[in-house]
Structure 1
Amino acid sequence: MKKDEVPQDESNLASANIKDMVYAVDENGEYTTELSTGWAPKTIALDNAIQIIEERIADAKKRVLENKTSPIEYYMEVHKMDLQILASYVGFWKWRVKRHFKPSVFKKLNNKKLQKYADLFEITIDQLKNIDA
């Protein structure tokens, strides 16, 4: 595409002043780089991904409030992590973190373990225990 044809569609990233570098052909027929705020297919894909993330967060919050999972799972979703990443950051085996998702196990966790999660999520232990705080 030509340099003056590089798409500049508005997207969530554009409002955050984030731009992609793309290759384009300049007036001399040479390849050069140009900044783009996005284009329609990318905007649609990003919007869909954000919607899925928001749904996962809402579902996790609902499950915490229904006492079906612990707040750790909710904060994992809020911080866009998966079980593997969360486990590696807190230094626990995946099976242990998954076990900490059980409300009965979560309630018995000592402050040292809770503090690891709280530090990772940049919240207090109180906030970790109560997602509405």
Structure 2
Amino acid sequence: MKKNEVPQDEGNLSKSNMKELMYATDENGEYTTALSTGWEPKTIALSNSIDDINERVAEAKSQVKNGEVSPIVYFMELHKMDVGILASYVEMWKWRVKKHFKPKVFKGLSDTVLSRYAKAFNISVSELKNFKAD
């Protein structure tokens, strides 16, 4: 796209006075950079993704409150992780991490294991153990 055609739609970036660096061509057909405040399709897609993430976090919180899953699931969703990413952060097999999603198993975890999760979530072991989904 040409430099004068770089989108300047209202979006998440324009609300925070930020701009995105994009590549465009100048009047000589050479590649250059230009700043954009947003592009409507990208803003819609980003907004939908954020809504999906918020729904998943709320669902995980509800499941923790109902005793269906451990707080690990909530913090995993809150930090936008999946099982594979979390497993790599805590240096455990995915099947082991999934096992820790069970409240009964979670209650039996040692502080050493919980500290790996706490470090990945940037919280204390106490916060992880005593999380109340109210």
Would you say same fold, with TM above 0.5?
yes
1:18 offset after TM fit, Å? 4.5
Deviation by residue 1:4-41 (Cα, 9 ceiling, x = unmatched)? 22112232234445533222232344332112122000
3-state SS, counterpart of residue 23 of structure 1? strand
- The match for 1:23 is 23
Verify: 1:2 aligned to 2:6, yes or no. Answer: no
Deviation by residue 1:66-89 (Cα, 9 ceiling, x = unmatched)? 000000010000000000010011
Counterparts of 1:30 and 1:113, CA distance in 2: 55
1:2 offset after TM fit, Å? 2.8
Deviation by residue 1:37-84 (Cα, 9 ceiling, x = unmatched)? 220000000000000000000000000000000000100000000000
Q: Runs in 1 of length 4+ with deviation above 4 angstroms?
A: none
Q: Which runs of 5+ in 1 are unaligned?
A: none
TM-score (norm 1): 0.90
Counterparts of 1:33 and 1:8, CA distance in 2: 14
1:107 offset after TM fit, Å? 0.4
What count of residue pairs does the alignment treat as equivalent? Answer: 133
1:130 offset after TM fit, Å? 3.0
**Residue pairs, 1:1-133, within 5 angstroms:** 1-132=1-132
Q: Is the 8 A contact 2:12 2:38 kept in 1?
A: no
Q: Write the letter of the residue equivalent to 2:88.
A: S
3-state SS, counterpart of residue 7 of structure 2? coil
Counterparts of 1:97 and 1:123, CA distance in 2: 18
Aligned residues with identical type, % of pairs: 62
Aligned Cα RMSD in Å?
1.8
TM-score (norm 2): 0.89
Q: Tell me: CA distance 1:108–1:53, structure 2 relative to 1, closer, same or farther (3 Å).
A: same
Q: Write the letter of the residue equivalent to 1:88.
A: S
Counterparts of 1:17 and 1:73, CA distance in 2: 34
